[in-house]
Amino acid sequence: MYLCYFSLSQKPNFVKTIERKGEVMITLPEVLNLLKSSSAYNPSVPEKVKKSILLDKAWDECLVLSAEFGSDGTKETVFNGSKSPFNGFGELVEVIARHDPNLPKNSVVGERLAQTILKFLRKGSISKSRITFNGPRRIPDQILVNFNGRRADIVGIYEVKASHISNNRSEKQIAALEHFLRQAVDIIEEGKHNHPDLKKIKILVRNPLRKILITPAGFRKHVHLLPGWEHKELKFTYNELIFIAQQIWPDFRPEIAFEDNLLGKYREGFLNYFLEWGRANVLKGITTDDPDTAFMFACATQKLPQPRDLPQITEATDPIIETLVEYPSYILREEDLGDWERDFFYFFTKALGGGRSIKDQTLLFITNFRLFSIRLAKICRDKKDLTKILARSMDFNIINYCPK
């Protein structure tokens, strides 16, 4: 696989695409690769955590939002008899929140009751009954329910806000959430004798009720919490969520533009150059469908494999090849480099014209290459066929190909 354009793990849910008017727009691997290489990316939360959230059915819901809203992320709604645009960004943030591993979740039975109450607050009535709720209502984004036999305790609610600004504008609404929830449960309890399911359980709202305000990461210092409320942050920042929204709605917030971060510049700059250099200078005369993997294997093992061994090498190396395009939590400094790394650093920074950006990109490569070499060494120890391949391969040292 060509490392500049390689795709991540191809799991069934992971390759579902966003389509608009029958045209394939983007896949989840592409979204994550683009995000990771963007100035919107927050490396303090590991990529695998963000990936797991999107894989946990969140991406399926993003696909629904893509089709439900226009290319600018809005749709027309009717409010008080007049049409107005409704922005889908808040719903996208709610989707991410529902799948965040650190937020409390309901059991299957608890979720069923929570959704019944939420629908009651939205519509003012419950099907299969004469239970109605007249007048204004305020609706939390989620209700947390604990079941104990036939007793259902509503232990908490949470409200998701796309930013601290939307939270500060909605303080009156947030303050009213508990009041309307208690009022709704009282109405349900009073009229539930005609409902086939609700009449079998006793619904209580705990006092005190746990109340959680959820925002994107990075807003902790800016959120004004009302008394009795706690604050939790998502694993995604506001900028990361804006970036994802721009991928599923191509015309969303065009005034916000993100640049390549160090990883993006590295992939397009140093890594692209290095792999092309390897094909031209090291692998010349060697025919393979996957020159980049063969080249990186040679660099890490200091063995240049024979052409007949390349399929096995590709198979063994594929699971760890993405190590080379990770955004590590720590990047080596020049004073951290060993002897051969220092020679490598000086040769390629000079070949690419020098400058701080090129030096940072080269240091990023050496950092990732160290980890790649460690992982590959373990694979080679565990696989006897690779040990045999190394034994019959020619010695190789990349520094010998780098004229001083």
Q: Based on the domain organization, do 250 and 322 belong to the same domain?
A: no
pLDDT at 35: 92
Check whether 8 has a pLDDT greater than 60.
no
Q: For residue 55, with 0-12 CB atoms within 10 Å meaning exposed, 13-18 middle and 19 or more buried, which class applies?
A: middle
Which alpha helices (DSSP H) does 41-170 contain, by range?
Answer: 47-53, 59-68, 89-98, 108-123, 164-169
3-state secondary structure of 100: coil
Mean pLDDT calculated for residue range 49-77: 86
Q: Say yes or no: 213 and 112 in one domain.
A: yes
Whether residue 211 is found in the same domain as residue 267: no
At residue 7, the pLDDT reads 32
Q: Which pLDDT belongs to residue 403?
A: 67
Give the H/E segment covering residue 214.
strand 202-217
Q: How far apart are CA 249 and CA 64, in angstroms?
A: 12
Query: Is the distance from CB of 389 to CB of 305 less than 8 angstroms?
Result: yes
Read off the pLDDT band of 284 (50, 70, 90): confident
Please indicate whether residue 198 or residue 17 has the higher confidence score (pLDDT): 198
Domain match, 90 and 1 both = yes
Q: What is the pTM of this model?
A: 0.79
CA separation for the pair 262, 327 (Å, rounded): 9
51 vs 59: CA distance, rounded Å: 10
DSSP designation for 249: S
Domain identity same for 223 and 333: no
pLDDT band at 166; cut points 50, 70, 90: low
Model confidence at 172, pLDDT cuts 50, 70, 90, reads confident
Work out the pLDDT band at 169, boundaries 50, 70, 90: low
Q: Give the pLDDT of residue 93.
A: 93
pLDDT of residue 10: 30
In this structure, the answer to whether residues 248 and 220 fall within a common structural domain is: no
The pLDDT mean for the chain works out to 85
Query: In this predicted structure, what is the pLDDT of residue 16?
Result: 44
Handedness of CA 18, 20, 24, 30 (dihedral sign): negative
Look at residue 14 in the predicted model and tell me its pLDDT: 34
**Number of domains composing the chain:** 3
Average pLDDT of the residues in 135-162 = 89
What pLDDT does 365 receive?
A: 96
Same domain, 114 and 238: no
pLDDT for the residue 167: 57
% pLDDT > 90, the chain:
41
Q: What is the pLDDT of residues 324-364, one digit of tens each?
A: 998 888 899 999 999 999 999 999 999 999 899 999 999 99
Enclosing domain of residue 76: 1-99+233-259
CA separation for the pair 404, 401 (Å, rounded): 9
Per-residue pLDDT reduced to its tens digit, 373-399: 999 999 998 888 888 889 998 998 888
Residue pair 209/157 in contact by the 8 Å Cβ criterion? yes
Same domain, 172 and 202: yes
Q: What percent of the chain has pLDDT over 70?
A: 89
Q: Residue 267 has what pLDDT?
A: 92
Same domain, 237 and 95: yes
The pLDDT value given to residue 3: 44
Position 22 scores a pLDDT of: 44
Residue 17 pLDDT class (50, 70, 90 cuts): very low
244 shares its domain with 352: no
Determine the average pLDDT of the residues in 29-40: 90
Evaluate if residue 368 carries a pLDDT over 90: yes
Burial of 47 (0-12, 13-18, 19+ CB in 10 A): middle
The answer on 174 and 67 residing in a single domain is no
Sorted by sequence, the CB contacts under 8 Å of residue 177 that are 6+ apart come out as 138, 139, 140, 157, 159, 211
The string of pLDDT tens digits covering residues 64-83 is 898 899 999 998 876 666 67
Question: Within this chain, do residues 275 and 339 fall inside the same structural domain, yes or no?
Answer: yes
Which residue, 242, 259, 276, sits at the end of a domain? 259
Between 55 and 243, the higher pLDDT residue: 243
Q: Say if residue 84's pLDDT is above 80.
A: no
Is the model's pLDDT at 225 over the cut of 70? yes
